[in-house]
A and B are shown apart, each in its own frame.
Chain A
Amino acid sequence: MKRLSLNVVIGGAIIGTVVVGAVLGAVWTPYDPLKIDFVGRLAPPGATHWLGTDEFGRDVLSRLMAAAATSTLISLSTVVAAGLLGTAVGLVSGYVRGWTDRILMAFNDALLAFPAILLALGLLTVAGANSYGIIVALGLAYTPSVARIVRGTVLSLREREFVEASRVMGNSELYTVLRHILPNCVGPMIVLATSMFGWVLLAESALSFLGLGVPPPAPTWGNMLAASRPFIAQAVWLAIFPGFCISLTLLGINLLGDALRDRLDPRMRGAS
């Protein structure tokens, strides 16, 4: 294994921390994230509550960890959903070509033509503003991007001689797609999944910030940030920590994504 680049080291460290926090947040937190305690409200970071308490007296650290778990779960579900749907569409479109491709891509491009957040907002009005609604709305909003990229990869793979060789050997089209094309899509798909995880996390936070995401009292970093606004003058820590968590996680994802792209893409071009 070559010397690990700085991107991987820092990105990996960040994501590792976040993952630990998220996993922990799902099973154990220092305090109950929902437990209200009006007496200790708006306490600055200290010995008992490491990161302070919010306007209801709830422990900020615990809420951050629970939020990590929620956001990660939602984002993962969305990436998987959009990934599966988009790959299916892209695979069929790219390999079959002809009118199937034209029609699928016409719809795909029309959906792509909506800014993703806008489409998600639109879908949310139908799906309802809760966890499942977000997964559906964001999943559908990002499916066209996945389909486009998978289709592009399939198109270029299709012209590679080892695919022609498979056909000459007498293998069925289905076999060729499953055995030769799909496995070679894995590289770009991993890079895409990493980037998408970042976009979805950001979108989910933004939607929660607007009040259209996971409804309170369940915490996400976005709605914690939104709730901090009235108290921003007195309890500045309420605004700092959630935003910091989002930024740090996104930074980690971006660094890892960059490193992955460097590693995986050149080999896809067949450099010897």
Chain B
Amino acid sequence: MYIVIAESGNLAQELVASFIASGDEVYILDTNEKLVKKIQADFGMVASLGDMMSIDDLTEAGVSRASIFIAGSENDYNNLAACQLVKKHFETPKTVSLYNNLDNSQVFDKSDVDVVINTTVLKIERLSSIIGSHPMMKLMDLPGGNKSIIAVKITENSNAIGKRVPELALPPGSEIIMIASEDGIIQNDMEGYQLSARDEIIILSPKNLEAGIETILTRYM
């Protein structure tokens, strides 16, 4: 199977190694000259410098004979447009697009891109597996030292179950960034969503109030 991967950045090296190991033919199209040279040095002429928005560069990368085209840049708009261009001009059987912003989900889902992968959901799934049975985990301190990002899992008997976000009385300055239900679905309507046991919640927390937030989300009385 011939696979063309565009703008996959740091993932390129691993992807090439992985696809070659599984017997596939792979080609990297990237605007990062250093990366292209590194892949050429390690794997041979399986990469070239080029722009995934250019029909000429896509043609030179052999997209017309590819079974799969993957757009993996950090830019949702370019990934969408590149996959749509590839579908229109090359009729590639399968296009795959990564995207970051959950607000763009509907557009990707309704587009003719065959497979769409939300990188935030991937990260959440990874975090969920790390968090495991621990209800609260600090993910990072933000620059400035006043805020941190934490992940809290709603416990089985928590008083928060059935409540909506505005009813939670979280400390001032805290903000819920994301809610993922147990089945991995990201809740877009966070204000209206009723919390359930085992929901994963990512929260921006003022420094030193993390434990208080954990209590609100996991307390049983």
Binding between chains A and B: no
Please list the residues of chain A having a beta carbon within 8 angstroms of any beta carbon in chain B.
none
